[in-house]
Amino acid sequence: MSAGRTFRRIQSTPARAHEFWKYHWIVYHKTIRALRDARRHAHGVLLDVGCGAKPFAYLFDGRVARYWGSDLRGSRYLEGASGPDVYARSEALPFRDASVDTVLGLSMLTYLPEPLEMIREANRVLKPGGVLLLEFTQMVPLHDAPWDFFRFTRHGARYLLERGGFEALEVHPIGGLWTRVALSAMEPLNRLNRGPWRVLTELPVRALYVGIQLGGEALDRVFFDPREVIGHLVVARKVRAALDDDPARAVAAATRAT
């Protein structure tokens, strides 16, 4: 992962269902909705890759036996009572082969210069038939430059998952075009609402957040287009080892297997 930067962790705790005066409530709200739809597939030991302060762990209460988290030691998104259990890069997890049942990754692939390596690593640590819940960001404003590398369509997501040894089971859209418009509209307001003038700008900016986000939510419901989404939360099952098109690495793997 890149320097611990993740789009979803602007706050250490995500905005809940009715906290639409908070910055980026609209994308948290839609991410939570997708997770509620997909979480029935989670089971056993779950590893949250790029977990930050584990803001979505409560959604899996009673559904998994253990909830582990990994992130970078230098991440600035670790504030909160609950942080990572281990510090590691998403491409080099300190877990044994086939040792976890579920891997969760939210809004973090865009920060990886080689996203397929994360998917291959998830394959390695998952048990046969294990589940990957992975968000593929498609359409959000540029953020955390220069660590923002990629966007993914649902077709690109399926391609990467197949290369990584997974079969896609479900695809849950997150947000739509009007969510994207709302995010762009809030960016300058967030920059304005800082520094010594915040005592004057806080209430007006929060009021504008309410109007922008509720408006975006309503327009998304009326004019939703599945081709124009913020991202997709894909539920995938491990069906085989990841394909490896690096000759040196393939030879090394074959040598270890003999």
**Which one, of 101, 131, 138, lies nearest residue 236 by Cα?**
131
Q: Is the dihedral of CA 85, 171, 152, 28 positive or negative?
A: negative
Pairing of strands 86-87, 231-238: unpaired
Interval 88-147: pLDDT, tens: 999 999 999 999 999 999 989 998 999 999 999 999 999 999 999 999 999 988 877 888
Indicate the angle between helix axes 177-192 and 198-223, nearest 10 degrees.
180
Interval 163-183: pLDDT, tens: 999 999 999 999 999 999 999
Say if CB 83 and CB 53 are below 8 A apart: yes
Rg over alpha carbons for the chain, rounded to the nearest Å, is 19
CA distance 117 to 36: 27
**pLDDT exceeds cutoff 50 at 235:** yes
CA distance 204 to 209: 9
Model pTM score = 0.86
CA distance 145 to 161: 26
Q: Tell me phi and psi for residue 150, to 5 degrees.
A: -135, 160
Interval 198-212: pLDDT, tens: 999 999 999 999 999
| Domains (range + CATH), the chain | 25-177+226-242 (3.40.50.150)
